[in-house]
Amino acid sequence: MSLSCRQRSGLLFTLLATAVFSGSCHALPQDTPAADESAAAADADDQAENPFPRAVEIPAGIMEGGAGWMNTARPLSLEDLRGKVVLLDFWTYCCINCMHILPDLKYLEEKYADQLVVIGVHSAKFDNEKDSDAIREAMMRYEIRHPVVNDNEMLIWRKFGVRAWPTVALIDPQGRFCGSQSGEGHRELLDAVIGRLVDYHRQQGTLDETPLMFRLDADVQEPTALRYPGKICLDTAGSRLFITDSNHHRIIVAGLDGSLQSVIGSGREGHRDGSFAEAEFSRPQGTVLIGDTLYVADTENHMIRSISLADQQVATLAGTGLQGRPGIPPAASLRETDLNSPWSLVHHNGVLYIAMAGPHQVWSHQLGTQQIGVYAGSGREDVINGALATSAFAQPSEIIADAAGQYLYLVDSEGSSIRRVPTDPNGEVTTIAGTSELPRGQSLFAFGDQDGVGDEARFQHPLGIALANGQLIVADSYNHKLRGINLETSEVTTIAGDGQAGSELDPLRFSEPGGLAFADGVLWVADTNNHRILKIVLESGAAEEFTVTGLLPPVVVPRSTFPDPAEAIPVTAQQLKPAEQLELLIDLQIPDGFKLNTDFPATWSLFAVDEQTLVASEWLGGRRTAELTAAGQLQVTLPLTGELGGAVFIVEASFGYCDTGDEGLCRQANAHWKIPVSIAEAGTVSSIRLQFPAPALPLQIDLSE
């Protein structure tokens, strides 16, 4: 392979004139005729017009050849999904551009929850990414909730003629290939095209709008105190450690003795400023302590946050929350400038240096000013040395400075190389170990697991770096190793790990270690996929797990969207008697030939139409699990405040049901009821009984011409 995550080519699609996929060109599936581009335009005002009149039928079995499926009970075929719009996402989990489109896919999945199915086709770049267990960890780290097939031999990739990561391919409800598009930043375009497909096939009766559900791997995972910790910041003067608990969306402050000092962030994903308990982050990574302020690379919010440890307040230093686009200059102020996946921070002489993974650059910010911008890197994804402005990086993922502040050192994860950047703006970027200066793009594929000197050494997607006793220590993440680099000779040696993912302490093994810190002879390691922090005495190699006493996973109730009251099932007004709680019993209706999906937790949510005092506010809007009684009813127990009065509530509930002969494709029943209630001394009702309407059956589509 010779193409990078950012490579693009020209136009393929036959699409409606008002919503044309542009920018990338890829071959159609093998053995399928090319579409006639002369028939591309359709009448945008005629909603009954087929947006893809020249879409081509996909050969049977085109999704076969994968090495395993995740987030589903069995392998899926496109034939299984007839009646749904299907979006195939060709990705590899190392790629920052692939990460960037995940919010777009989530948006589309939520908007077209009953009409669209996204299937991830993981076609690996790195050797480590071919392993299904590694992909599964990445899926849970990115919180991917759609099925994914491990296309480790790139068979499906080739059938669809894909040439770059990421690429999406669109299939209509009749199983016809509409086209594909590579690159990121196409949410609006995909939204428009999918919307036109939904409108057309709904009118034609070929759209199946029965909600589907899949057996998610994350649903069977045990909670852990840390969840995919990304980076570590060591404060030796304060005898404390700052841990970015990335997938819990928070920062942990612990004493070096393991005592829990603070938890910064509620655990809910978001970008809210405020107190430690209120603040929200989105998969933060690197941090740096300057005085009594901790700065955070809030990676998936595309922000830099500042934390006043004295006041216990979180604020936003820079970023708008929107992803910056290459080539757009910074705005006049920090809060108006779009950033792009800041991954790591380091401070020297009043300047905050930022490993900006998204545009493959190093940025800088003079503290106390409103200025922020590119310090080094042209924005080209490559491993090129030379002047700051013309050098090239490939997804820099951790950055540190030497004691004198003369040089910055960083790991270029996509280039599998270790770089040195001068703090003197007249200096030049160099590569200490790993390859550089190869013909365009080839450095991105020059990876491996090999000790040696300088460009003879090979790494595989390193993510962490630290200075220790005059040498660099590298978290060689996809090789599950720690590597040492002699700064005088550039010789690379293996310090710990045998190349196998694992959690043993003797012999010591890691699983994609992500961040490092060193002081007083001890190396601290964020062993990311093992959800732990390790302490390693560098001289002896003795290792132990660092446990934060009393640290628990956050308790976060998922938010629910307020349902439309006009579509709610009306319920007769209920006069409740005063009590400590109200019981709701909801009768299920399961079609013949189907059974309850016991793997899927039945859920419920409560909403108030207007102001009310009968139920505490924390019980409103969250999605909670419902109990299943022996009689097969959903049982909800709702605490009451003890106040008398009236209110109008909306109760929303869902459960899953599967074909008795095929549990691989299950469906979801959803309903919500509008219930006027009053609580009075004369009330007689202590429980309310509701009934699901008959759930929809799979649509039977006649595909004959």
CATH of residue 656's domain is 2.60.40
593 and 671 in a single domain? The answer is: yes
598 and 540 in a single domain? The answer is: no
- What residue has token string 């002699």? 486
* Residue 510 near residue 497, CB atoms below 8 Å: yes
How would DSSP label each residue in 497-536?
--SS----BTTB--SS--EEEEETTEEEEEEGGGTEEEEE
* Residue 378 near residue 389, CB atoms below 8 Å: yes
The one-letter amino acid code at 23 reads G
pLDDT for residue 440: 82
687 and 583 in a single domain? The answer is: yes
603 and 477 in a single domain? The answer is: no
DSSP letter assigned to residue 90: E
pLDDT in tens, 480-505: 999 999 999 999 999 999 999 999 99
51 and 193 in a single domain? The answer is: yes
Q: Is residue 20 part of a domain?
A: no
- The pLDDT mean for the chain works out to 90
Q: How far apart are CA 77 and CA 281, in angstroms?
A: 37
* Residue 430 near residue 420, CB atoms below 8 Å: yes
Q: Is residue 121 part of a domain?
A: yes
Q: How far apart are CA 151 and CA 128, in angstroms?
A: 13
Read off the CATH number of the domain in which 168 is found.
3.40.30.10
* Residue 297 near residue 343, CB atoms below 8 Å: yes
235: left (phi over 0), alpha (psi -120 to 50) or beta: beta
45 and 170 in a single domain? The answer is: yes
Q: How far apart are CA 628 and CA 615, in angstroms?
A: 23
Q: Is residue 653 part of a domain?
A: yes
Out of 550, 575, 598, a domain closes at 550
Residues 6+ positions from 567 with CB-CB distance below 8 Å? 672
Q: Which H or E element spans position 194?
A: helix 187-204
Out of 550, 575, 590, a domain closes at 550
Q: Is residue 276 part of a domain?
A: no
Tokens at 620, concatenated: 């409103």
Strand partners, 263: 252
Tokens at 585, concatenated: 């019993």
Closest among 369, 285, 354, 345 to 324, alpha carbons compared:
354
* Residue 324 near residue 357, CB atoms below 8 Å: no
Q: How far apart are CA 669 and CA 210, in angstroms?
A: 8
451 and 481 in a single domain? The answer is: yes
- What residue has token string 């190699």? 541
608-612-618-621 Cα dihedral, nearest 10 degrees: 10
* Residue 54 near residue 39, CB atoms below 8 Å: yes
Read off the CATH number of the domain in which 466 is found.
2.40.10.500
pLDDT for residue 218: 86
The whole domain housing 592 covers: 565-691
pLDDT for residue 622: 86
Provide the number of structural domains found in the chain: 3
596 and 537 in a single domain? The answer is: no
- What residue has token string 């034609």? 204
543 and 578 in a single domain? The answer is: no
386: left (phi over 0), alpha (psi -120 to 50) or beta: left
Give the count of beta carbons closer than 10 Å to the beta carbon of residue 702: 7
pLDDT for residue 14: 34
Q: Is residue 638 part of a domain?
A: yes
Out of 521, 550, 579, a domain closes at 550
83 and 210 in a single domain? The answer is: yes
461 and 603 in a single domain? The answer is: no
Tokens at 249, concatenated: 């969306």
- What residue has token string 């099932």? 569
Q: Which residues of the chain have pLDDT under 50?
A: 1-47, 703-705
3-state secondary structure of 199: helix
Tokens at 125, concatenated: 């770049």
Q: Is residue 314 part of a domain?
A: no
pLDDT for residue 215: 84
Q: Is residue 585 part of a domain?
A: yes
471 and 575 in a single domain? The answer is: no
pLDDT in tens, 58-109: 888 999 999 999 999 889 999 889 999 999 999 999 999 999 999 999 999 9
pLDDT for residue 28: 31
Strand partners, 407: 422
Per-residue burial over 21-47, b if 16 or more Cβ lie within 10 Å, else e, is: beebbbebbeebeebeeeebebeeeee
Q: Is residue 241 part of a domain?
A: no
Per-residue burial over 212-245, b if 16 or more Cβ lie within 10 Å, else e, is: bbbbbbeeeeeebbbbbbbbbbbbeeeebbbbbb
pLDDT in tens, 207-244: 999 888 888 888 888 899 999 999 999 999 999 999 99
Tokens at 207, concatenated: 């759209």
